[in-house]
Amino acid sequence: MIILYCICVVVLLFLIYGLIPTIWIRLFSVGIIKRGTAERKEFFLTFDDGPDYVYTPQLLDLLKSYKVPAAFFIVGERAQRDTDLLKRMSKEGHTVGIHHQSHSNSWLLTPGKLKKEISRCASVIQHATGEKACFYRPPWGRFNLFSLPLSREYQVIMWSSITGDWKAEQGKDKLAAKLKKNLHSGCIYLLHDNGENPGADDEAPSVMLQALGEFLEFAKSQGYIGMSLEELKKTNNKRG
């Protein structure tokens, strides 16, 4: 009986601390942005979990060829291996945002550990680029009871299109079709330039790059323009 009681208490605490805040924040868009305006034919590319020292340079080359800005929500400990990629992102007009210092789950972090994950990643970005990070996205889009207060100095960015690009098995054609189908004014795409996390495929970013090239050509033909998160923030502030 005591064991059952303890299990119930643990489950209740988990719901209160992690799951319920995540559902509430994402469902009602509390303190977050998950889409742009529907008034203009624009879209926003965001990439999580990087950098990757094979795929991220290829991605930067592709974005440069189409003159499309993107946002990279980086894992600090990966970026620390060589900060040159972060410098290149900033130099080429991309946004470098906070994921976490490690790819950690906010549901399992105390307030103190969450604050450290955010601040350490922010320090990596500022050291590499000379600029203060302005945007934050927690790994897996998971929040806890203290996520918004602890990240209040940053704009939290979510997404309006998720395609499962971390799995390579769907192939380039299927992924490209999803990206095209989801294209709409103000769409924020979530993609990944690193496949090291549990549940992801190491080679998935290679498939993503092939599909993204086809998508960018399609978006261009439809009159859509890729925009930066800075522009999204400005528009959102004007509307607010």
Contact 22, 14 (CB under 8 A): no
Average pLDDT over residues 229-237: 83
Q: List the catalytic residue out of 49, 192, 193, 202.
A: 192
CATH assignment at residue 75: 3.20.20.370
The reported pLDDT for the residue numbered 235 is 73
Is the predicted pLDDT of residue 240 greater than 60, yes or no? no
Q: Specify the DSSP element, H or E, that contains 28.
A: helix 20-28
The reported pLDDT for the residue numbered 66 is 98
The reported pLDDT for the residue numbered 21 is 97
Contact 188, 158 (CB under 8 A): yes
In whole angstroms, what is the distance from residue 175 CA to residue 190 CA? 12
- Where helices occur in 37-146 by DSSP H, the ranges are 55-66, 76-79, 84-91, 111-129
If phi > 0 it is left, if psi is from -120 to 50 it is alpha, else beta; for residue 165 that is alpha
Is the predicted pLDDT of residue 238 greater than 80, yes or no? no
Q: Specify the DSSP element, H or E, that contains 10.
A: helix 2-14
- The yes-or-no answer on residue 48 being catalytic is yes
Q: List the catalytic residue out of 48, 49, 52, 165.
A: 48
Residue range(s) defining the domain that contains residue 190:
2-239
pLDDT in tens, 141-167: 999 999 999 999 999 999 999 999 999
Is the predicted pLDDT of residue 37 greater than 90, yes or no? no
Copy the structure tokens of residue 236.
Answer: 């959102």
Q: What is the mean pLDDT of the chain?
A: 95
- The number of distinct structural domains making up the chain is 1
Is the predicted pLDDT of residue 13 greater than 90, yes or no? no
- The yes-or-no answer on residue 100 being catalytic is no
Helix (H, G, I), strand (E, B) or coil at 73: strand
